[in-house]
A and B are shown apart, each in its own frame.
Chain A
Amino acid sequence: METCRNIELLLADYSAGDLDTGQKADVDGHLSACADCRAELARELDLRHTLAGLPQATCPDRVTTAILAAIDAEPVAAPQRHWLSRGRAYIGLAAAVLALAVLLPRGLDLARGPAEPTYTAQEIRTARKGATTALLLATQVIDRGERETARRLGESVPESLTRSLKAITAQGEGGQG
């Protein structure tokens, strides 16, 4: 049998009807045999009844009006981003950059632009397949809400990387054709 102390801790939930069936049965069983806990329950119900009877004040309309006027005067708030979201966007972008690095295993000089491609068609096909997989993975990592952050970050990726990819793509298509 539950102790009085344990039952007393459950009385608030019991009187609010928030106990599960098993707990309620335990409390019922204890109450039927314990006068002290029945008195405690009576006090609990009295408190609940009195507090529930306090005036239920309603928020004045002028408060609602003031709130709506204030938000209309403010710019629409941008969705809040958790720091982790930004972190995940960086991870996704890093994966994309790594995919490009896979495509350029024989050295990339950002200052001088892309090296003269000397890949075979087979190498390029394999690299493109790997890059596609990595980019797909990056896209999945970046959910819809984070894409804007990633897009902004992507704009800062050096143009030379883009040119490298284009040059390799052109070479690959040329090799296949």
Chain B
Amino acid sequence: MDRPTYIKVLETHRDQVYRYALFSLRQAEDAEDVTQEAFLRLWRSGSDLPPDRCGPWLMRVVRNLCVDWARRRQSQRRNFGQPDTEAVDRLPANEEGDHAPDGGLSNLTERQADLLAALDTLTPQAREVVLMHYFQGLKLREIAQILDRKVSSVKVQVHRARKALRLVLDAAAPPALAQERETG
């Protein structure tokens, strides 16, 4: 892939890749590192993929990187205890002024915060499918391609995840409020 084509692919897919990493890892710094690594892998692969097929390739790579990253983080926590979650607040703001450690995820409505908390209760497999479909707008057949699964399996996963999310959300909110949400 030549440089101009690569830049085009980078501009087209960087936000999608970054968002997936951010919602998967919940830390802007980690998401930035993973995004950078995913695009470097695309360059190093010397891929001659046509640009329109780079999206699924990148999503597959960023998904695998996030899984590895999360696993490593979990292992570090086991070995070194809980991370210093306030450390990022002590850092000076960068030149763009957006030093929010969670990439803006702290400015959520109550409903969105509930939903994100509910997402955390899903299995990693179910969570990634939900994020790809509902948040990133990927079609189920595209997700199946990225995850190398059958479309029917992805459909079942989305269905189960929806039911699981509903259970968690209904347990978190008073029934009257939950009913109001459905009718409203």
Contact = CB atoms under 8 A, between A and B. Distances in A.
A39 B35 CA distance: 38
A67 B36 contact: yes
Contact of B156 (A9, A71, A74): A9
Contact of A12 (B35, B95, B140): B140
A57 B14 contact: no
Contacts of A63: 14, 18, 32, 35-36
A44 B7 CA distance: 37
A42 interface: yes
Contacts of A60: 18, 28, 32, 96, 98
Interface residues of B, number: 57
A167 B19 CA distance: 67
B22 interface: yes
Given A52-B134, A58-B15, A70 B40 contact: yes
Contact of A51 (B43, B115, B155, B181): B115
Contacts, number: 123
A61 interface: yes
A13 B7 CA distance: 32
A51 B182 contact: no
B104 A57 contact: yes
Contacts of B133: 12, 16
Contacts of B98: 60
A13 B135 CA distance: 14
Interface in B30-79: 32, 35-36, 39-40, 43-48
A12 B116 CA distance: 19
Nearest to A10: B155
Contacts of A34: none
Nearest to A67: B39
Interface string A38-73: 010011101110111111111111111011101100
